[in-house]
Structure 1
Amino acid sequence: MSTPRPPRLSSLRALKHRDFAFLWGGAALSNIGTWMEVLALGVYVTKVTGRAEWTGGVAALTWLPSILLSPLGGALGDRFDRRRAVALGALVQMVLAGALAALAFTGGLTVRWVAVISFLNGCAVTLFMPAFSALIAVSVPKEDLHSALSLNSAQANLGRICGPALAALLIAHADIGWVLLLNTLSFGAVMLALLGVRGAPATAKPASPEGLWAGIARGFQVARADEALLMAMGGTLAIAICIAPFTALAPVMAIRVFGQDAGATSMLVTAQGTGALLAALSAGTLADRMGRGRLLEVSLLLIGPVAAAYWWSPSLGVATGAVLLLGALYMLTLTGLATLCQARVSGELQARIASLNSMLLFVGFTVGVWSQGALADRLGVRPVMGGAAFGFLLFTVLLRTLRSRGFAAYET
């Protein structure tokens, strides 16, 4: 008797759930604005300073607060109304984006202001994103969790496709302030989407009363006691340090390496987003055919060599093709690791485990993007970034050798 083939569009099945569809749509519109701002500020800092260290350093400030605030954000997300937490986070980010726009229109925008507001924005994201991740997780049944997390990554990368292209067009024909203003308005989409969410639990409803700090400690204890969670979080940290900086250093690749401008930066960021979007749309089908653990393992083994190929690309055209594939693998690895983490814990712990995984991603990214940017100014962009990618390949092979069962043993 033959095994039934998975539906062609199994990757999209989470969209049949109303609450998830509302959350997905609002976040997708908001992320277009976010990526417009990311490109605009990256180009601005690179042009004003002319140094990769500054570009990476300012990007790192967005994630620096996660070192201290991620566990707190996870505990709050499991303790209070998640819809209200997400709405408050969107409001804070709207105010900060509006401040950047006002500075740009009045001629007061400086690298220092970009750094300060990036740091404050990072605080908001760190505190309120775990509530959004938990809200996504409970908006679908467990069998559709991988589809939901893949599509959540897809909407973020849809922003990478549309946002940079729109930003590059506006920068070429208008003031950077218009880019920042559109990002400010985009946060309204999240608030409107939350009005349509009805069925997803607002809070986790823990079985017994638990203090805030005790709740944070329990999240750490659960993660430490589970070998699969430790493996997944270790993989997330290694990717963040060695691979993830490519997402923030596209302006360095376009301007410093290839001598291009905002248009080339937009091309690289858009290609990355396109690859991630295509991967997200096929991730469910691939997971059904290969098994989620095996798909994750293959993606981890491939991402290092592909990242090295990107950084050593001889031309912008080759780099664009390489970063498209890199974006796909980046999405598959991080989504696979996040799915493993979420599926192994109960609903009352999902925000805390999501926050710990995010903390490692943000901490690793902060260390990786700043250190690689600083070393690139001294040793060259290609040797430093390519060397980090090769280092990740060695880490993956070592992990696979020490844990012979690999991630394929932890099917979710």
Structure 2
Amino acid sequence: MTLLDQPEASQRAEKPAPLRRNRDFLLLWTGAGLSQFGVRAAVSAYPLLMLWYTGSPSSAGLVGFAALLPQLFLLLPAGALVDRWDRRRLMMVCDAVGLASMGSLAAALWFGVLSVPHVMAAAFLEGGAVIFYKLAERAAVRHVVHEDHLAAALSQNEARGQAAGLLGQPTGAVLFQAFRWLPFGVAAFTHLFALITLLLIPGSFQDERAEAEKRSVRAEIGEGIAWVWRQRFMRAAIIIVGGSNLLFQVLNLALVLIVKEGGYAPSYMAVIGVIEGVGGIAGALTASWFMKRLPLPALLIGALVVWAALMAGIAVTGHPVVLGALCAGTSWAGALLNVAAGVHQVRVTPDAMQGRATSVFGLVGSGMNSLGALVGGFLLAAAGAYWSVLAAAAGMALLALAALATPAVRRMGEAG
């Protein structure tokens, strides 16, 4: 694994201070984390708002569709634009868009003038801003931390994301129960806080770039796809991980059916989610330890094996706490792999290609998620939860064998 070709002079000059004393990283980490929490709270309140305001599940579906639409249409162009534009300014614009969209929902609810098209537009704008922000922040991290701290920084970012998901969803429901406008007001405030933290961070979030001939976004997207495809290990890994994402969507749908058929109340899904979230945080926080002892191919294959075994266990149990513990194991392995793969990607990807490379991975993941939800619905209807989860476990075991048999994964070969 190669490190950055041209590390910044300040990183080479002296031994860095501990990450906990890195003011710029702490500002970025805190602001982005709080805005992630606000976004999760608002997203969890969308269906509640629509069912309360219109009483129509179809309206809730329209808002959910609008919120997810940016993942399909904006990811690839966002990656190209993140590499072209000033990342710090772009992140500030994203927070401003989030502040305006979420603030408008809170104000509309306060004054009683909300409409379904308004919620759809706000959800789309918020979803698009989140995509641009995440891509820019991922690329910015190595410009606020020393190279030696990159793995720890990305590990803490992953833990932050897991914690935001763990806390954001139930908080959104509680806030909505108190005041209908409150989840969106809190989301607007978190965007304002994140915007302020960015203003307090000096310097640039990207390398100095020579003035180059402007090309079309389409050409730059194609360049990003081609670059990822030339990386043998990354090319194989993205296909394998994409397949695992599809299988996890089958599992997620099956969990709801298992809880329902077991006679448990829907609130038990929250119990599973909380336990699973704890596992994800643990995986993110232990990633650095494992990365020092195991190469990335071993972590990838090991995660696939762990997922297959735990999925098989999920198929034969129905108790929510046991299900939560097994899901915590899958989340632990997933968070660990996310950190390890993220560190590898950031280190081997040229700075001018960071946004596009990340967007290609994100598009494959979101595309497989959509397909997995479709496959999972048909599979559960035809075979039931037990056989569907066993099929997902078998599929995961096949992916582990495929990874083990792929030379590019075993050797993590050079690009070419």
SS where residue 218 of structure 1 aligns? helix
Instruction: Tell whether 2:200 aligns with 1:221.
Output: no
Q: Which residues of 2 match residues 122-133 of structure 1 at below 5 A? A: 122-133=127-138
2:305 to 289, 297, 301: 301
2:74 to 57, 69, 73: 69
Q: CA separation of 1:15/1:159 partners in 2, compared to 1, >3 Å: closer, same or farther? A: same
AA at the equivalent of 1:194: L
CA contact (8 A) 1:292 1:336 kept: yes
Q: CA separation of 1:379/1:148 partners in 2, compared to 1, >3 Å: closer, same or farther? A: same
CA contact (8 A) 1:309 1:322 kept: yes
**Alpha-carbon distance, 1:184 to partner:** 2.6
Instruction: Tell whether 2:293 aligns with 1:289.
Output: yes
1:334 to 328, 338, 362: 338
Structure 2 equivalent of residue 22 of structure 1: 27
> Which deviates more from structure 2 when the two are superposed, residues 100-109 or residues 361-370?
100-109
Q: CA separation of 1:71/1:29 partners in 2, compared to 1, >3 Å: closer, same or farther? A: same
Instruction: Tell whether 2:192 aligns with 1:182.
Output: no
Q: CA separation of 1:177/1:84 partners in 2, compared to 1, >3 Å: closer, same or farther? A: same
2:169 to 164, 172, 179: 164
Q: CA separation of 1:157/1:280 partners in 2, compared to 1, >3 Å: closer, same or farther? A: same
Following the alignment from structure 1 to structure 2, what is the Cα–Cα distance between the partners of residues 409 and 46? 52
Instruction: Tell whether 2:191 aligns with 1:191.
Output: no
CA contact (8 A) 1:26 1:193 kept: yes
Structure 2 equivalent of residue 82 of structure 1: 87
Q: CA separation of 1:69/1:39 partners in 2, compared to 1, >3 Å: closer, same or farther? A: closer
> Which deviates more from structure 2 when the two are superposed, residues 243-252 or residues 394-403?
243-252
Following the alignment from structure 1 to structure 2, what is the Cα–Cα distance between the partners of residues 237 and 93? 29
**Alpha-carbon distance, 1:15 to partner:** 4.2
AA at the equivalent of 1:366: S
Query: TM-score if structure 2 supplies the norm length?
Result: 0.80
SS where residue 340 of structure 2 aligns? helix
> Which deviates more from structure 2 when the two are superposed, residues 123-132 or residues 148-157?
123-132
CA contact (8 A) 1:400 1:406 kept: yes
CA contact (8 A) 2:46 2:64 kept: no
SS where residue 368 of structure 1 aligns? helix
1:231 to 218, 236, 239: 236
**Alpha-carbon distance, 1:201 to partner:** 3.0
Could you list the runs of 5+ residues in structure 2 that have no partner in the other structure?
Answer: 1-16
Q: CA separation of 1:386/1:170 partners in 2, compared to 1, >3 Å: closer, same or farther? A: farther
CA contact (8 A) 2:32 2:194 kept: yes
Could you list the runs of 5+ residues in structure 1 that have no partner in the other structure?
Answer: 1-11
CA contact (8 A) 2:71 2:366 kept: yes
SS where residue 209 of structure 2 aligns? coil
SS where residue 201 of structure 2 aligns? coil
Following the alignment from structure 1 to structure 2, what is the Cα–Cα distance between the partners of residues 246 and 109? 36
Structure 2 equivalent of residue 96 of structure 1: 101
Following the alignment from structure 1 to structure 2, what is the Cα–Cα distance between the partners of residues 391 and 50? 39
Instruction: Tell whether 2:155 aligns with 1:144.
Output: no
Task: For residues 320-379 of structure 1, give each alpha carbon's deviation from its aligned partner in whole angstroms, at most 9, with x where no partner exists.
Answer: 212222221121223323332222222121121112112212222232234434654665
Instruction: Tell whether 2:36 aligns with 1:31.
Output: yes
Structure 2 equivalent of residue 3 of structure 1: none
Q: CA separation of 1:239/1:405 partners in 2, compared to 1, >3 Å: closer, same or farther? A: closer
Task: For residues 190-216 of structure 1, give each alpha carbon's deviation from its aligned partner in whole angstroms, at most 9, with x where no partner exists.
Answer: 112212222443566257444243332
> Which deviates more from structure 2 when the two are superposed, residues 131-140 or residues 149-158?
131-140
AA at the equivalent of 1:266: A
Equivalenced residues, count: 397
Following the alignment from structure 1 to structure 2, what is the Cα–Cα distance between the partners of residues 206 and 236? 36
AA at the equivalent of 1:78: D
**Alpha-carbon distance, 1:220 to partner:** 1.8
Q: CA separation of 1:337/1:238 partners in 2, compared to 1, >3 Å: closer, same or farther? A: farther
SS where residue 397 of structure 1 aligns? helix
Instruction: Tell whether 2:350 aligns with 1:350.
Output: no
Following the alignment from structure 1 to structure 2, what is the Cα–Cα distance between the partners of residues 408 and 34? 36
Q: CA separation of 1:29/1:201 partners in 2, compared to 1, >3 Å: closer, same or farther? A: closer
Q: CA separation of 1:369/1:188 partners in 2, compared to 1, >3 Å: closer, same or farther? A: farther
Following the alignment from structure 1 to structure 2, what is the Cα–Cα distance between the partners of residues 290 and 331? 15
SS where residue 65 of structure 1 aligns? helix
CA contact (8 A) 2:105 2:184 kept: yes
Higher radius of gyration, 1 or 2:
2
SS where residue 400 of structure 1 aligns? helix
SS where residue 289 of structure 1 aligns? coil
Structure 1 equivalent of residue 402 of structure 2: 398
Following the alignment from structure 1 to structure 2, what is the Cα–Cα distance between the partners of residues 311 and 253? 9
RMSD across aligned C-alpha pairs, in angstroms? 3.8
CA contact (8 A) 1:81 1:203 kept: no
Following the alignment from structure 1 to structure 2, what is the Cα–Cα distance between the partners of residues 83 and 107? 36
